[in-house]
Chain A
Amino acid sequence: MSASLPITNPPLVCWNCHERTVGTHFCPGCGKVLQVPERSDYFAMFEMPRKLWIEMGALEKKFLQLSWKLHPDNFVNATAEEREISLKRSSELNDAYRTLRDPIARVEYLLAIEGARKEGQTKQQAPPELLEEVFELNESLDELREATVSGGDTASLKLRLESAEKNFEQKLSEVDSELQAAAREWDNAVDRRADESARKTVMSKLNELLNRRSYIRNLVVNVQKELL
Chain B
Amino acid sequence: MGRIVGIDLGTTNSLVAYLDAKTGQPKCILGPAGSTLCPSVVSIDPDGSIIVGEPARRRLLTQPERSIYSVKRLMGRGPADVQGELKLFPFRIDPSSHHVIRVQLGDRVLTPPEISSFILRELKNWAEAYFGETVDRAVITVPAYFNDAQRQATKDAGKLAGLDVLRLVNEPTAAALAYGLHQEQRGKVAVYDLGGGTFDISILKLISTSEGDIYQVLSTNGDTHLGGDDIDNLLQAFVHEGILQTDKIDFSPHGELAQELRKELIALKHKLSETQSATLRFPLPNGKVFVHEFTRGALEALIRPVVDRTMLPVKQALADAQLKPSEVDEVVLVGGTTRTPLIRRTVQEFFDRKPHTELNPDEVVALGAAVQANILDHGVQNMLLLDVTPLSLGIETYGGAVAKVIPRNSTIPASAQELYTTGVDNQTGIDIHVLQGERELAKDCRSLARFTLNVPPAPAGLPRIEVRFLIDANGILQVSAKDIRTGTEHTIEVQPSYGLNDTDIERMLEESIEYAEQDFAERQVIEARTEAESILTATAKALGNPNASSLPSAERARIDASVAALKESTQGSDYKQIRQQIDELNQATEHLAELLMNSALQTALEGKKLAEV
Task: Report which A residues bind B (CB closer than 8 A).
Answer: 64-65, 67-68, 71-74, 76-77, 87-88, 90-92, 94-95, 97-98
By secondary structure, the A interface counts as helix
Which residue of A64, A65, A91 is within 8 Å of B414 (Cβ)? A91
A88 touches B470 (CB 8 A): yes
* Chain B 12-62 residues near chain A, CB threshold 8 A: none
Q: How far, in Å, is B183 (CB) from chain A's closest CB?
A: 22
Also in contact, A73 and B412, with CB within 8 A (given A67-B214, A88-B470): no
Complex Cα distance, B166 from A71, in Å, reads: 14
Report how far A76 CA is from B376 CA in the complex, Å: 6
Known: A73-B385, A98-B411. 12 other contacts (CB 8 A): A67-B386, A68-B380, A71-B384, A72-B472, A73-B379, A76-B379, A87-B413, A87-B470, A87-B472, A91-B415, A94-B413, A94-B414
Residue contacts A-B, CB under 8 angstroms, 18 given = A64-B207, A65-B211, A67-B384, A68-B211, A71-B380, A73-B167, A73-B380, A76-B376, A76-B377, A76-B379, A87-B472, A88-B470, A91-B412, A91-B470, A94-B410, A95-B415, A98-B411, A98-B414
Pick from A71, A87, A88 the residue with the most CB of B within 10 Å.
A71
Number of interface residues of B (CB under 8 A): 28
Q: How many whole Å from A148's CB to the nearest CB in chain B?
A: 20
- Please indicate which of the listed interface residues A73, A91, A98 has the most CB atoms of chain B within 10 Å of its own CB: A91
Write the nearest CB–CB distance from A36 to chain B, whole angstroms.
Answer: 10
Q: Which residues on A sit within 8 Å (CB–CB) of B380?
A: 68, 71, 73-74
B275 at the interface (CB under 8 A from A): no
Chain B residues proximal to chain A, CB less than 8 Å: 166-167, 207, 209, 211-212, 214, 216, 375-377, 379-380, 384-386, 407, 410-416, 470-473
Q: Is A73 a contact partner of B473 (Cβ separation < 8 A)?
A: yes
**For residue B407, which residues in chain A have a CB less than 8 angstroms away from its CB?**
98
Measured CB to CB, the closest approach of chain B to A224, in angstroms, equals: 14
B415 in contact with A72 (CB, 8 Å): no
User: How far apart are the CA atoms of A90 and B413 in the complex, in Å?
Assistant: 6
Q: Which residues of B contact A77 (CB under 8 A)?
A: 379
Complex Cα–Cα for A94 and B473 (A): 11
Task: Enumerate chain B residues within 8 angstroms of A98, measured Cβ to Cβ.
Answer: 407, 410-411, 414
In the complex the two chains form, what is the Cα distance from A132 to B321 in whole Å? 37
Q: Is the CB of B166 within 8 A of A76?
A: yes
Assess whether A73 is in contact with B410, with CB atoms less than 8 Å apart: no
CA of A119 to CA of B477, assembled, Å: 28
**Alpha-carbon gap, A37 to B412, bound state (A):** 20
User: What's the minimum C-beta distance from B53 to chain A, rounded to whole angstroms?
Assistant: 30
Q: Is the CB of A91 within 8 A of B413?
A: yes
In the complex, A48→B241 CA distance in Å? 68
- Chain B residues lying within 8 Å of A67, measured Cβ to Cβ, are 214, 384, 386
A51 to chain B, nearest CB (A): 23
User: In whole Å, how far is A24's beta carbon from the nearest beta carbon of chain B?
Assistant: 18
Residue numbers in B under 8 Å from A76 (CB-CB): 166-167, 376-377, 379
Measured CA separation A158–B279 after assembly (Å): 54
The 5 A-B pairs with the shortest beta carbon distances in the complex, nearest first, are A91-B413, A91-B415, A94-B411, A72-B473, A76-B376
Q: Choose from A65, A72, A88, A95 the contact partner of B416 (Cβ within 8 Å).
A: A95
Alpha-carbon separation in the docked complex, A76 to B381 (Å): 13
Tell me the smallest distance from the CB of A140 to a CB of chain B, in Å.
22
User: What is the bound-complex CA distance between A71 and B407, given in angstroms?
Assistant: 20
B604: shortest Cβ distance to chain A, in Å? 59
**In whole angstroms, what is the CA distance A225 to B412 when docked?**
31
Bound: A92/B471 CA distance, A: 11
Q: Which residue of A lies closest to B487 (CB)?
A: A38
Instruction: Judge whether A88 and B384 touch: CB under 8 Å.
Output: no
Minimum CB distance partner of A75 in chain B: B379
CA distance A72 to B413 in the complex (A): 8
Q: How far is the CA of A107 from the CA of B375 in the complex (A)?
A: 38
Closest to B375 in A: A73
Minimum CB–CB distance from B112 to chain A (whole Å) comes to: 27
